Amino acid sequence: MASFQSRFFITLLKYRHLFRLQWRRSVVDATTPIAGLRARADASASRFGRIPPDMRTAEVTIAGCAAEWLHPVGADKRRAILYFHGGGYVMGSCRSHRGAVAKFAAGSGVSALVFDYRLAPEHPFPAALDDALAVYAEVLARGYPASGIVFAGDSAGGGLCLAALLALRDRGLPLPAAAAVLSPWTDLTCSSPSYDRPDPLAPAGSWRTFSAHYAGATDAATPLISPLFGDLAGLPPLLIYVGADESMRDDSVRFAQKAQAAGVDVRLHVGDGMVHCYPVFAPMFPEATLAMNDICAFLRDWAGRDVVERAEAVQPRLP
């Protein structure tokens, strides 16, 4: 059973529109101004946490993308988290997610890089994927070994993370050591039953609207848009967290089942009574804190495996 703290906190999130003196929850459709959504996403950055005073940050440009490094004290220079931010492929940025990414970096002790990929509808598929692959290639070129890199992402960023793994595998390029994703958007056709019930956090119509923006003229069932429909064999170890009470629950469950059947080392956790990307709300309630601790341990363990012994593990050029 969900804790009192989580139920109280999620109730506040569910009815947050009332604090803005809006009697009805928002609805998102093709006419919704994207600029307003982006502004609200960036303005909400502080709600997910602040950068610890002893964490070093550096704004950089990598493969043409604005990005930010977050370096915990004592971080190993041969290990890194490449973080894919969420936002439905239409919003989100380094700024909106830096507080959340700092939690993963601080909790794991591993430096994290979060980057701004191009957003839809101005830049539909495959722009975001192309940017993600280019950023990863640049990180490798700077001296980080693939064995010391772990991917992480939330929501659409989680789906983009998984799509990037499929693309890297298909191109015969080095895969990261592992990946951890929160509520990954793996099916942009939104075909699962969990999409047909109200989501406590997501505005009505948002996922189908965002899917149309990102997919553009391409079939949304294309595996590099919707990783659920791809061949999942050969992916690195995966950790998936999802809330039981969110639209994307089935995306995670179906993806984990298919990945396991394909021989992938995958662990799925469905949080009872939890909502979209709930681990990022740590330490607001115990379920989020336990999830965050587990994810950070996973990232730390996989980013550290075999790095020192590998001949490729040279000291990278830090920004």
Give catalytic residues, as residue numbers.
155, 246, 276
Angle at 99 between CA 37 and CA 61, to 5 degrees: 80
State the residue for tokens 């969900």. 2
- Write the DSSP string, 212-252: HHHHTTS-TT-TTTSGGGS--TTPPPEEEEEETTSTTHHHH
Question: Pairing between strand 149-154 and 80-84?
Answer: parallel
**Number of other CB atoms surrounding residue 138 within 10 Å:** 19
Cα distances (angstroms) measured from residue 198 to each of 41, 194, 239, 271, 288:
21, 9, 26, 17, 22
CA distance 37 to 5: 28
User: Three-class SS of residue 80?
Assistant: strand
Are the CB atoms for 291 and 241 separated by under 8 Å? yes
Question: For residue 44, which of 261, 280, 262 has the smallest C-alpha distance?
Answer: 280
Task: Decide: helix, strand or coil at residue 110.
Answer: coil
